[in-house]
Every structure is written in C-alpha cells, then in structure tokens.
Amino acid sequence: MARIAVGGIQHETNVFAPYKAGYEVFARRDEWPPMSRGIQMLDEVDGVNLPVAGAIERLKALGHEIVPLLWCSATPSAHVSEEAFERILAMMLETLRDSAPIDGVLLDLHGAMVCAHVADGDGELLRRVREVVGETTPVVASLDLHANISDQMVAEASLLEAYRTYPHIDMAETGARAADHLDLLLKKGLARFPVITTRRTDFLIPPVWGCTLVDPAKSIYQLLHKSIDGEVVGISLACGFPLSDVHEAGPAIVVYGFDEKSVNVAADNLLAELESRENEFSGRLYNAEEAVTEAIRLSTTANGPVILADSQDNPGGGGPGDTTEILRALVSHGAKNAVVGVISDPQAALVAHTAETGAKINISLGGKSGYPGSLPFVAEFTILGVSSGRFRATGPMLAGAEIDLGPTALLEVGGVRVVVGSKPVQTMDQSMFSHLDIDPSRQKIIALKSSVHFRNDLQEVSAAVLPVVSPGPVIVDLSTVPFQEPRLKKLTAKR
Ligand SMILES: [Zn+2]
C-alpha cells in the first residue's frame, strides 16, 4: 500500500475569448463540481465522470491510501489570471507538503492552460509539484484529448495519459489508466519509465473535425489500443487546442515503455497514420442563413431534429455562449418547432424570474461580450417557464453530474423558443432542455452552443447535424485565426 496524493486543476485556454478566468469561476459549480479540498474533494467528485474520480476508485481498489489535495475546473475562456493560478496552486502544494511522506502523485489536468504570467500553465504546475516531491517520486497526470503537450510537461511528469474519445466519455476511464501506470511504477520502484519519446505533426487539427465517433479520428484512436504490449505501456495522442496560441499547441504523441525499439515503432506508426489522414480533418461548414435554410428544408421530411452546432460560440472552447445570430436567422425565416440553447444571459434570466409565466418582456438578449459581429437580439419575448437551473445530467458524458446553470428561463420569440441560462455552459446534455420540459427528440430544429460534445447525448435523437460558422472566438477555420505565435502562423499560412 502506498500513499498517493491526488488532485487536479483543469482549464482549456482560448486566448481569443472575451473573458479571462479568475478565482471565482474555479470556485463555483457549473457542469462540473465546484472547487473542493481534502476530504470534501472525495465527496464532490465521487461518481462523476472525471479522471480524478476514476483514478481514486482504481487506486483504492489497488489497495492504496488516497491523500486528497484539491480539485477544481473552470469553463474554457481566455487566460487564467495570475492570482487564480497562484492562489489555487499554493493551496494544493500546501496540502502536498503537509502530507509528507508521499509515495506518488496523480494529477487530473487539462493540458491546454495558459496563464496571464506563464504560457505553459500545466508544465509550470507539474514543475512546482515536482519541486515539492523530488525526482524519485512518480508523478502521473491525466490530460484532455485537446491538451497541448509541452516538452516541459513531458520532462516533469513520470507519465501523461490523455483521453481517447471526443466527446470525452472516457474521462473517468482515463483516470483509471493513469492510476494503473502509477501503480506499475510503484511496484517496479521506478520514478519514470526507462523509455519516453514524443512526436509532433507539422499541421494543426481543427477541434470541430476531431470527433472520434467518425473517421479519421475514430480509426486513428483505435491504433492506440493495439500498440500496448509488455514493452509499450503508455501511449497518448493529444490533438491539441490551437486557440491557446502557444508555441507547442497542436497534435502530439507521447509513448512510454521499457524497450526503445518498440516504443519508437509505436510512436512512428501512429504519427505516420495521423499524417496520412491530415486532409480528412475537414468538412462542410454553413453560415447562419445557409444553415437555417437547409435545416428547414431537411426538417420537412427528417425523422428527428436537425441540429445546428453553433461551434464558434461554444462555451466549451471559450465562447461567451451568448451570440444570437442563429436565433435571429431562425426567427427571420419563420422556423417552426425550433429551440435554441443555452444562451447565457444572467440579466435576461433575472428579468424572466421577476415576471409571471406568460408575461411579455422587452429585453435585449445576448450579444453582451462585445465580440466582433455579435449583436444583442432586441425584441418582445414571452416567458414560457423558469427554473433554478440546478438539475442532474442524464447523458453518458456528464453521467449524472449535478449541473448549475444559475437561474434559467424558457422564452419565445417569433415562434422560436430559447433556453436562457446565467453561466456560459456548453449545451451537451438533453437535461439542459428537458429541465424546462423541452423534449429534444420532439423538436424539428435545435440550435445549440457546442462543437462536438453534444453528440454524446443528442446525436442519437437527431436526424442531421450542420456545423455553423457564426460570430464567436472558437474559430473553426484555423487559416483565419490571428495567431501571434510564429510556429502556428507558419503551420496555417501554407494551407
Ligand atoms: Zn477537450
């Protein structure tokens, strides 16, 4: 039995997003649990589909003692403030120091965190943890599939283990794999695996085309399972998050094992497969007008709703979740049986909560982030219902997590219904509609704030999905991103 310190800080940084992440967004509950420390952390994450939860369960099953540090996450946004990073990390490290002696550390990280004062947030976090526990203690970290794996992260961690699915339904499973790797290191008395190798591509993958339910990502990820044998113990492919605009943003492969030749062959084979399929990471995009026209046409014969994925305003990639251009197009085209969600606008939700159901209110909905091209929708709305915005998720990815959208309201304008919430949260679970008595399967058109994650729960009820390019900072066409980082400028300019 070993004493394992477990904790995590998760943030995906889109430097083009309108808001930064301060301490308070890590502290509060959104679609994930609020910040928690020590024993309280074990209760908060228990049973949630998160790496930290999967890791704790597995480590306990392996007979280890858990020393809970701190766990928190914040909805993707621009940089994490220096104050938030330093304050949260100081709390985590304080518990780590006070808990000595520690035999191993397991961290639940995203891997694409950029702080106001440090570009490689996750690398810096790992470096500071390493500073406390020293070189001889194994430190294993799980990562998001969209991690930007830096050389520093590889150097500081004993092993990095990334999700293999997008939508990320294997988060807890990834935590369990990370726990197995840590257990193996402890059993062998090693701080690191003898062979570690990294590969990078000379192209970027736009996240919207990286869904693992379909090719090319589906078959590429299947290769990972086939690479594991006695000599290759860990293999990860992180597709990267280009909008972090850091030097090492983009796809990276990292492989761990005991035999140099086997490890290198596994890395080279995976890289070769990825490179041979580069051009398949693409597809048709629609602007709001085209998407609505096509959705209305398809919906006359479709068996199930046509989904308009408002990818560029996806809060899961740093979007404010409050642009209204698709809503405007649905209203102007007279779309029938259409619903839009979740638009984040705390002021609008508050107005609805202070009026009666059935009342008409004149409000300016959304468009408040100041993002170029995004305007509020000013109109008379009818209040169809309100809710506390607290409910349990029902889909596989959020797996029963307790969600808090803040006060929500169901409004109607020009025959189109709109779910309005009070926090930017990705629309990825049927419960985000059903808590207001909207059954997604009975709609003709659903416009939602998500790129790919909605597919974990809403794809099965939908007849078609149209990716929409509407104003927002989660820029889909990477050739139009105003990258500052010379390497990323170069990678996107040649295409
Ligand atoms: Zn991700």
CA of 56 to the centre of ligand 1 (A): 21
Query: What pLDDT score was predicted for residue 493?
Result: 87
CA of 355 to the centre of ligand 1 (A): 38
Query: What pLDDT score was predicted for residue 218?
Result: 97
CA of 168 to the centre of ligand 1 (A): 7
CA of 143 to the centre of ligand 1 (A): 9
**pLDDT per residue as tens, the chain (495 positions):** 999 999 999 999 999 999 999 999 999 999 899 999 999 999 999 999 999 999 999 999 999 999 999 999 999 999 999 999 999 999 999 999 999 999 999 999 999 999 999 999 999 999 999 999 999 999 999 999 999 999 999 999 999 999 999 999 999 999 999 999 999 999 999 999 999 999 999 999 999 999 999 999 999 999 999 989 989 999 999 999 999 999 999 999 999 999 999 999 999 999 999 999 999 999 999 999 999 999 999 999 999 999 999 999 999 999 999 999 999 999 999 999 999 999 999 999 999 999 999 999 999 999 999 888 999 999 999 999 999 999 999 999 998 889 999 999 999 999 999 999 999 999 999 999 999 999 999 999 999 999 999 999 999 999 999 999 999 999 999 999 999 999 999 999 865
CA of 144 to the centre of ligand 1 (A): 5
CA of 409 to the centre of ligand 1 (A): 28
Helices 38-45 & 51-61 angle (0-180, nearest 10)? 100
CA of 166 to the centre of ligand 1 (A): 7
CA of 474 to the centre of ligand 1 (A): 13
Other Cβ atoms closer than 10 A to 334: 12
CA of 431 to the centre of ligand 1 (A): 21
CA of 446 to the centre of ligand 1 (A): 23
Contact between 337 and 443 (Cβ < 8 Å):
yes
CA of 473 to the centre of ligand 1 (A): 16
In which residue are the tokens 């970027």 written?
204
Query: What pLDDT score was predicted for residue 182?
Result: 98
Give dist(CA 45, CA 48) in Å, integer: 5
The pTM score is 0.95
Give dist(CA 171, CA 293) in Å, integer: 37
